Structure 1
Amino acid sequence: MTNLRVGLVGLGMMGRHHARVIREVEGIELVGVADGQGDVHGAAGNLRVLSSVSELVAVGIDMAVVAVPTGLHEEVGLALAEAGIHALIEKPIASTVQAGQRLVEAFKARDLVGAVGHIERFNPALQSMRARIEAGELGEVYQIATRRQGPFPARIADVGVVKDLGTHDIDLTAWLARSKFESIFARTTTRSGRAHEDMVAATGHLTRGIITNHLVNWLSPMKERLTIVTGEKGAFVADTLTADLTFFENGTVATQWDSMAAFRGVSEGNVTRLAIAKPEPLRTEHEAFRDAVLGIRSDIVTMEDGLNTLRVAEAVLESAVTRRVVDIEPLG
């Protein structure tokens, strides 16, 4: 079977990882790369670095990966759609909801596969957690809380922490819960001297009644990536830095030592660190995109998904400015 021919637009920090993984995944072949700034990380290998999307299309590609700054997503994505090329665009889908909507419409009109690179969905800890929730191991889900904190990334300049990091948590929360955001309330602050926010605390409500809480920032000296899902049978805790998944069962054994109960609780349940396979999330994401183009399966993050996530991110920013709860009207 002939490999699908892949083009890569953008050879920055994320683009270099895409180049490596594309070369590792069966059934696809990296045949062209483009970046107007050149190849600072040496990701192109023996490929000539092209300067435009039109040059990349001329090489003859079936699908493309877009890893350029967010402000260029619409321009590059529309050019690929016009050329009839399936595309995986890094998150967020675009810099504005309007731009994201234009991308959704362009790919839909041409019956092309359009995916958004919300890589956390493909983290093995979260993939296992979702399957276990669906199997009823947690019972009814009550709350989803995330913490995504770490030092300031100099590479991000065109969006704030909400659209860059926060969109990970918005997407994975809706995906885990199989439920869309209904409303959001948020506070942001800017402490790094840039134009965009670098810290956010947000509380949301999903259409199935689940409540959410998200702490995201670029100001913490430690790096943290946690997702905690609490339900009627206990809580799952996923550390997506290590891809570890732990299940905390509800208390069943009474704590008879009074002084111990003061800080351990009046009862304890079993705590199990679950053994799961840990494939690289970026590789899993590329395999899903390949299979979607081939029509084999459809577990990609669609452009419609990416647009819904961006709508919630903009509602977070609106809430921070207005200091009000913002209702989010559902789309399709």
Structure 2
Amino acid sequence: MGTNKIRVGMVGYKFMGKAHSHAFRDIPFFFAGEAVPVMQAICGRDEQGVREAAGKMGWATWETDWRRMLERDDIDLIDIVTPNHTHAEIAIAAARAGKHVICEKPLALTVEQAKQMVEAVNEAGVVHMICHNYRFAPAVQYAKKLIDEGRLGKIYHIRATFLQDWLMDPHFPLTWRLRKEVSGSGTLGDIGAHIIDLARFLVGEFDEVVGMMETFVRHRPLGEMDIQLKGRPKSGEWGEVTVDDASAFLARFANGAMGTFEATRYSRGNRAGNRFEINGEKGSIRWDMENLNNLQVYLQDDEPGLQGFRTINCTEAEHPYGSVYWPAGHIIGYEHTFIHLLHELMEGIAKGVSPAPNFEDGLRNQIVLDAVEKSVERKAWVKISEYTVDCEQGVAR
């Protein structure tokens, strides 16, 4: 069987553009799959910036208007790594143009936008995926395997956090991530979406939520930030912060488990504290993204005297994705989660299926985000059943 070449057009070229570009370049190096990406075109509004990015990151051509990319017959897949408020328009147009689509998270600004995006890809019959890359850390995939095999038994708890501290300076500039009309929400949608997706992946669907959110600094100087999350004020002008700086919520799951979730940019000393602990009747697991190769596992069947959390370095050939890399104990990193995700997308395109997490997962995550915000407004629990989802078509009503 021959190898399919999937010609990629990427919209955006900064932080996530760099991560995705690196992954597209490395997929053929590690994986001998049915499809390989061809880095055909990159798009950005700044002509000089996108031209330089194309040369540095290995893209064959560049454009300054994403609509032009949809008109090209030498592009099969559109990769959207732009700010959140552009996701829906680009994804819907790409699907209607017959292009496969992958989109950064969160999928949209609202549930209604996410619903329209799901409808568009389903009607067009294109392959689609959302970029929740943390699912694809080998240790997380192994945690999923242990849970699915029943090694933890019935799940009782999940505790999940995503803690950062890059926003604590009150003079850090008002970037697009702090403006609701561009981002949709603050920590809840930006980093909270990741732990929501991990919870759905590992534990199951949410049943109801109740939350709280806080904005600690409500006015900031206008400016931008770079890939290292360093701020650059542009002028003496100030603007209003219209999203949350921190969010927390409780959850009940459809299978009876309970969860606690916290996302903040005001946790001093935490750069990327994406962590979870899951407790079941037969055991527990812990994972920390800052030490992403390791999974801590406790099993009650261990004999007395040897019981305790053991650390599994998930780099053995028997671990998910482990066989394509280095000898056991030779560590892989954050960038490899994107390689794994985009490899799965390539294989999905070759087979004509949309790998999880796809736009339907993005919609379900968006519903949880919206339910948390509603619970804050109402100061009450909100049932996910307020949103009905047609599971076959993935459309919220």
TM-score, with length taken from structure 2: 0.76
Higher RCO, Cα 8 Å, sep 6+: 2
Residue 258 of structure 1 aligns with which residue? none
Among 212, 230, 233, the residue aligned to 1:187 = 212
Residue 277 of structure 2 aligns with which residue? 228
Conserved? CA contact 1:141–1:230, under 8 Å: yes
The whole-number CA distance in structure 2 between the counterparts of 1:18 and 1:155 is 21
Shift of 1:293: 0.8
The whole-number CA distance in structure 1 between the counterparts of 2:213 and 2:46 is 33
SS in 1 for 2:22: helix
Residue 113 of structure 2 aligns with which residue? 99
Residue 377 of structure 2 aligns with which residue? 321
Conserved? CA contact 2:44–2:50, under 8 Å: no
Among 33, 41, 45, the residue aligned to 1:36 = 45
The whole-number CA distance in structure 1 between the counterparts of 2:108 and 2:9 is 20
* Paired letter, 2:142: S
| Count of aligned pairs between the two proteins | 319
* Paired letter, 2:22: R
Shift of 1:30: 0.5
Alignment of 1:111-260 (within 5 A): 111-152=125-166, 156-157=177-178, 158=183, 159-177=185-203, 179-193=204-218, 194-221=241-268, 222-223=270-271, 224-243=273-292, 244-250=294-300
Matched, 1:77 2:101: no
SS in 2 for 1:197: coil
Conserved? CA contact 1:28–1:290, under 8 Å: yes
Residue 260 of structure 1 aligns with which residue? none
SS in 2 for 1:151: coil
Residue 63 of structure 2 aligns with which residue? 50
Matched, 1:306 2:316: no
Q: 1:49 to 1:320 in 2, by over 3 A?
A: same
Residue 311 of structure 2 aligns with which residue? 273
Q: 1:321 to 1:299 in 2, by over 3 A?
A: same
Question: 1:189-223, CA deviations, whole angstroms, 9 ceiling, x for partnerless residues?
Answer: 00132210011111101111011110110111223
* Paired letter, 1:325: W
Q: Which runs of 5+ in 2 are unaligned?
A: 29-35, 168-174, 219-240, 316-331, 392-397
Residue 5 of structure 1 aligns with which residue? 7
Conserved? CA contact 1:292–1:300, under 8 Å: no
Q: 1:268 to 1:2 in 2, by over 3 A?
A: closer
Shift of 1:268: 7.7
The whole-number CA distance in structure 2 between the counterparts of 1:114 and 1:298 is 5
The whole-number CA distance in structure 2 between the counterparts of 1:9 and 1:164 is 19
Conserved? CA contact 1:251–1:268, under 8 Å: no
Conserved? CA contact 1:20–1:43, under 8 Å: no
Shift of 1:238: 0.8
Conserved? CA contact 1:19–1:43, under 8 Å: no
* Paired letter, 1:233: K
The whole-number CA distance in structure 1 between the counterparts of 2:166 and 2:46 is 23
Residue 262 of structure 1 aligns with which residue? none
Q: 1:137 to 1:253 in 2, by over 3 A?
A: closer
Structural RMSD (CA): 2.1
Q: 1:205 to 1:55 in 2, by over 3 A?
A: same
Residue 347 of structure 2 aligns with which residue? 291
Shift of 1:75: 0.9
Regions of 4+ moved over 6 Å: 251-254
Q: Which runs of 5+ in 1 are unaligned?
A: 255-266
The whole-number CA distance in structure 2 between the counterparts of 1:108 and 1:18 is 24
SS in 2 for 1:184: strand
* Paired letter, 1:235: S
TM-score, with length taken from structure 1: 0.90
